[in-house]
Chain A
Amino acid sequence: MIKIASLHKWFGKLHVLKGIDLTVDEQEVVVLIGASGSGKSTLLRCINFLEAPQQGRIFIDGEVVDPRGKNLHSIRQEVGMVFQHFNLFPHMTVLGNVIEGPAQVKRLARAEAVKIGMELLEKVGLSDKAETYPAMLSGGQKQRVAIARALAMRPKIMLFDEPTSALDPELVGEVLQVMQELANEGMTMIVVSHEMGFAREVADRVIFMDEGVIVEEGDPDLIYSKPQNERTQEFLSRIL
């Protein structure tokens, strides 16, 4: 489904990703963990070219992604992204946010876009908020709208960058639940998150990153209970 081969990213002199190799299969859910600054966000952002890596290749469905080529916009349509701080469009209603992609990018007729939008809002439990503006929503509701907005493009893969870390603790569950349902439906997902319960229950694989490299990966239960690498052990002892 998605294959990343020896990916390198520098910010000026700062070498942030130092040769990442990663393959994610269709319907697989991968949880990415690692200390702040280890390059998790940068990796996700490189996958849909919000950052341009200087070296390495990314294949989606066997097709290499060329950021200079015309297919950048079409690749991005296939990769949904959910941000830590939601990044909802404040000047549009909840429904407006969700249909923006289908209506503007896919150029669907408005009625059709609205139909898709309402279905997705139903799915994330917010159909009663369709005409509300984002400023009136709780953090958990905002993040669910953001998930619906990304899904509206019918992506093949969803990237989540710490989707619950800006939320009050009592609102984390509703977002994780939506993500879990999505995983159960067979969505391919890469999730940066330190929610261990979610990782244990939903993830097929957990990947630990440190200083721009993948240090260890494996079955969630194994990673959390018997980490092999010293750095993984040290990191987990800090967050658990």
Chain B
Amino acid sequence: MFDLPWDFTIIPSYMPLFVPVAFVTLQITTLGILMGLLLGLLFGLMRISPLWVLNGPARLYIWAIRGTPLLLQLFIIYYGFSSIARVPGFLAAVLGLAIHNGAYLAEIIRGSIQSIDRGQREAAYSLGMTRWQAMRRIVLPQAFKRAVPPLGNQFIIALKDSSLASTIAVHELLHRARVLWSSNFRTMEMLIIAGIFYLFMTTIFTLVVGRIEHRLKASEYRS
């Protein structure tokens, strides 16, 4: 394989070819994070339970997932199960991102729940609320507010990590770059375009999270 000399003037003309796959990246990430949030909420709540039948499995899950690379987890889902069933690449990527991020989100959610002053829970109990009512009405809404910055951060990490899906034949941003440079030999140019798309998405997302954070803060100072 050989590369042509750099010619960055071709970048604009190739950009449109990346737009559809940028949506694939966005889809994998969003679906992965949403499912990951459900897992994170479930395992985060299990993790703070005093019952070991609940916190034990949660600890195990968090330990195993955070201690192994995402690429390994993707390969397990995509190749590991191939003797039983062929998991399509897109599905494998979404599941992998969900399971992977679920462990990190569980820790984020646990941390933000535990950061809520215990007086809040006691005030809820003193009104006669059950543990679940106090959790749902009083603790979780405040914990979610506090979790917005780290959740946003995790979303950005997931967006970047979704590029690993290129290794299991998912037609996302990095995959498209590779397919293109293998026929046009414009490796650096294609990589730069992919980079521009990642930067664009992460920047927009950072701004959106910043705004949400600001709104949430302001909402408690309305009079």
Contact = CB atoms under 8 A, between A and B. Distances in A.
Interface of A: 48, 50, 73-74, 76-77, 79-81, 83, 85, 87-91, 100-101, 104-105, 129, 131-136, 146, 149-150, 153
Contacts of A89: 120, 123-124, 138, 142
B2 interface: no
Contacts of B141: 91
Pick the 5 closest A-B CB pairs, nearest first. Answer: A77-B128, A87-B123, A81-B126, A101-B127, A87-B119
B211 interface: no
B221 interface: yes
Nearest to A76: B128
B201 interface: no
* B interface majority secondary structure: helix
Contacts of A101: 127-129
Interface residues of B, number: 23
A13 B69 CA distance: 45
A105 B145 contact: no
A78 B133 CA distance: 18
A133 B127 contact: no
A73 B222 contact: no
Given A101-B128, A133-B222, 16 more contacts: A50-B122, A50-B125, A73-B129, A74-B128, A76-B128, A81-B123, A83-B119, A85-B119, A87-B119, A87-B120, A87-B122, A101-B129, A104-B137, A105-B129, A131-B222, A146-B123
Nearest to B129: A105
Contacts of A77: 127-128
Given A83-B122, A87-B122, A104-B137, A153 B221 contact: no
B125 A76 contact: yes
11 contacts: A73-B130, A74-B128, A77-B128, A83-B123, A87-B117, A89-B138, A90-B142, A91-B145, A101-B129, A129-B223, A134-B220
Interface string B103-127: 0000000000000010110111111
Nearest to A89: B138
B222 A136 contact: yes
A136 B223 contact: yes
B127 A76 contact: yes
A153 B141 CA distance: 22
Given A74-B128, A91-B145, A133-B221, A104 B122 contact: no
